[in-house]
Every structure is written in C-alpha cells, then in structure tokens.
Structure 1
Amino acid sequence: MLINKFTTITGKDVILVPYRKEHVEKYHKWMQSEELQRLTASLPLTLEEEYQMQESWMRDENKCTFIVMDKHLYEKNHDEIEAMIGDTNLFFANDIDRMVAEAEIMIAETNARGKHRGWQAMLLMLLYGITYLHVQQYVVKISIDNVISIKMFENMGFIQTSISNVFQEVTMNKIVDDTWIGWLKENVGNFQIINENEF
C-alpha cells in the first residue's frame, strides 16, 4: 500500500523497508524453494509475474508489505539486497473499516533463522499496524507442520481458533488491547519508525 511506500522501521537487529523493484529478483529466487512455497502456501511465479506482483501490492490498499533486512549486515556495507532475509505482510479483508488484518512473516535465509529475527520483525509489523493502520484484531494462518511459527505466535499471545484439515493450516487470533500493546513495546525494545511521505 502507498502509506508505507517511504517508511523505514528500525529495531535492534532488523530493519523493515518497503518492498521495491530492486528487491524482486532476490525475492523471486527465494520463492523457487519448495519448502517456502509449502510453508507460505504460495505458487511459483515467473520473474515477470513477480515484478507485476510487487507493483500491484504497492498500490493495493488492502496489502502492506515490508522486506526484512538483517540490521547488522546492512550496517556493514549498506547493501539492502545482501541484507535481505525475509518479508512480513498484513492483509486486510474487504471490509470498510479494515480493523482485522491477517499477519505473515517469512525468514527465507536459513542462516538468519533461530536468531529471533522473525520474532522481532513480526513485533515491529504488529506495532506498525496498530499505530498507523488502526488494526484492532490480528489473524494468522499457519501450516499445521510449521511448529516453530505456531509456537512463536502462541508466545505472542495468539490463541488458536480453528484447524483446517482440508487446507492443513491452523488459524490463530489476537485482539488488540492496551495491555498487549504494552507487552509488544516491552518485548521489541528500542525501535524507530520513520515516514518520509513524499507522495
């Protein structure tokens, strides 16, 4: 969506930046992985289709996407592509108020897993959604066999609401309240959101 086109979110170990054209080629390589296709319930796209997807997502007011970068890698040489480790998304249902968002996190680089990069990036995205997009409830849909992600969202306070054997996924929910917002801020630590609204 255009609201985050010039937004950068910096945390302790990760930086979130808008998904731009220069990120597409590496993202496309990630999504050739059968493991990532399975975990994200995605179909492989051609590179041209991936570029079209990036452009449409940037303009779609029901989709908010950030690329996740490893902050320490980025600070070494300021190369966003080299520092890319995954992405995080919010999807809104087609309701007028857009109060409910489906959240996603993917750490594609295997050497970045198990280092709390996904945890931190997701907390930052949840806070961004609450603060700037006025989200009042979050939903996550996770593959049944993705035990690590299920556990992570449980630790974030999400509650399992259903299991689909047809789609082989677990649905979890979290209502936003002041206590949880305080917990998010406490657990994410120091962070900064910079909006350079030039459009």
Structure 2
Amino acid sequence: MRVNQDTAVSTSKALLVPYDCRHVLTYHAWMEDPAIQQATASERLTLEEEYENQASWRASHDKLTFIICQPLAHLADDGPPSVRAGEADAPQQMVGDINLFLYPYEDEDEEYNPLATPEFCVAEVDIMIAEREHRGRGIGRAVVQAFLQYTSRHLEGIMAEYAEDKDMPTPPGLKRLMAKINQGNAQSIALFKSLGFEQEGEVNYFGEVKLVLRRLDQLTNEVPEGYSELLYSREEDNHD
C-alpha cells in the first residue's frame, strides 16, 4: 500500500518502517531459513523474485507492510520529526515484519455473488519476528499493538485506497480482523488472545488456528508506550 510509504511508527520497544527495496537482502536471508518458511507457510524465492515481491507489495492496494526494527535509542519530546532511511533501519537493526491483508467479507448466510461489490472487508494480521534473539521479549505484542493503533488511526485512508483500486463507489467497512497461526505456535496464539482475539472453529487442514477480533473498538484499547508517527525520510536516497 501507498498509505504508509512515508511513515515510520516509533514505540519504546520497536520501530516500524515501510518495506523498501533496501530491506530485501536481509528479508531474503530470513526467508532462506526452512523453519521460517514453514512457520509463515511461504515458498522459497530467488533474490530477484524477492525484489519483485517487494515492489508488488508496495504497489498493491490490499497489503499493508512494515519492517520491524529495534527501537530508536532516544526520542525526546522535541526530538527529530523524522527517521532517516538507511540508519535506524540498517540491516543490523531489522528484526522482522508485520502485514495486513484485506479480503472481501463473505456472509455465510448469503449466496455468493462474484460480481457484487463487497460492503465489508476482513483484515488478516500477520507478524514475523525473524531474529531469534528478539523472540520472547515482549516485542511481538508491542508491535501488534502499534500496528493495530496505526491501522485504527488510518483506517479511512486504508479503505479508501482499497476502494479506489477496485473501482468501488464507496469504501467498504471493516468487519473484523483475523490471524491464522500454526497450532504449535503457542506464544503467538497467546499474544493475539491477550489482545482480544478469539479462536473461531477448529484447526484447519493446514494445521492453523484462526483467531478473530470482532469488536473493533478494541483496536485502540492499549496505546504502546512511546507511540509516535514520524516522517520516513529518503532524502538524498535513490533506492526507492
């Protein structure tokens, strides 16, 4: 999505920046790990395919992506209004990524009509802490909180961008959020449940648990410590 292309989200535990081509080499190295491929249900891609994937995600109007980085060392009340690309998100600062995918909402009680304009959407949230030393330290929860906070504050723009791409006369509403997590990933399941998500149905064919947040007012229940939205500055940079 374009909505977050110039925005970084800073908290006391993590920094979120838009996924740029400068991040692809590190991201590709993460995805070479078979354990991560299995955990994220991803196929191995070549480096060239990974660059194409990054460009596709940036242009896509139904995918919102941030790269998770280590937190800024210090941000005073009158501190810098921007994050300079290539510094706070250098490869050694990168930790993982978090994504939101939008799908048309299908009411099970209504007959499916592929030509109908969807009135609502469902948003799937997906998080990966790729660097092992950063797992189990509460970063994941803080990142999901920050991501949901950002989504809530910019929901109108997110849905407007989605609607414009689909030539929809009116942006759809957001019906619910969901997360699909491998049944063996007890930490992630517990994380989402602690934020108000509830399990829906049984474990699916792929061994995943589906967790759903229906009360969208819970999106902003907890503001992460130090939450701030900053300009992601690419001055004197030709990478993106």
TM-score (norm 2): 0.74
- For residue 126 of structure 2, the aligned residue among 104, 108, 118 is 104
Q: Contact 1:24–1:51 at 8 Å: present in 2 too? A: yes
C-alpha separation in 1, matches of 2:32 and 2:212: 30
Corresponding position of 1:139? 178
How many angstroms does 1:165 deviate by?
3.9
Give 2:91's aligned amino acid: I
Counterpart for residue 167 of structure 1: 206
Identity %: 34
State the alpha-carbon separation in 1 of the partners of residues 192 and 59 from structure 2: 28
CA contact (8 A) 2:148 2:220 kept: no
Report deviation, 1:99: 3.8
Runs of 4+ off more than 3 Å = 72-75, 94-99, 195-198
Q: Can you list the C-alpha shifts for 1:136-191, whole angstroms capped at 9, x where unaligned?
A: 5210000111111011111111000023341110001002443x245222xx2220
| Pairs aligned (count) | 194
* Match 1:85 to one of 87, 90, 95: 95
Listed as ranges, the gaps of 5+ residues in structure 1 are none
1:78 CA drift (Å): 3.7
Alpha-carbon separation, structure 2, partners of 1:74 and 1:60? 33
Q: RMSD value over aligned CA atoms?
A: 2.3
- In 2 relative to 1, CA 156–79 (structure 1 residues): closer, same or farther, beyond 3 Å? closer
Q: Which amino acid aligns with 2:138?
A: H
CA–CA distance in structure 1, aligned partners of residues 24 and 93 of structure 2: 14
**1:79 to 1:56, Cα distance in 2 relative to 1, 3 A:** closer
Q: What is the aligned partner in structure 2 of residue 155 from structure 1?
A: 194
Question: Taking structure 1 as reference, are residues 147 and 92 closer, same or farther at Cα in structure 2, changes over 3 Å only?
Answer: same
Q: Which one has the largest radius of gyration?
A: 2
The alpha-carbon distance between structure 1 residues 118 and 17, as it changes in their structure 2 partners (threshold 3 A), is same
Task: Identify the match of residue 183 of structure 1 among 221, 227, 235.
Answer: 221
Report the TM-score when normalising by structure 1. 0.89
- Higher helix proportion: 1
**Structure 2, unpaired ranges of 5+:** 76-86, 106-117, 157-173, 235-240
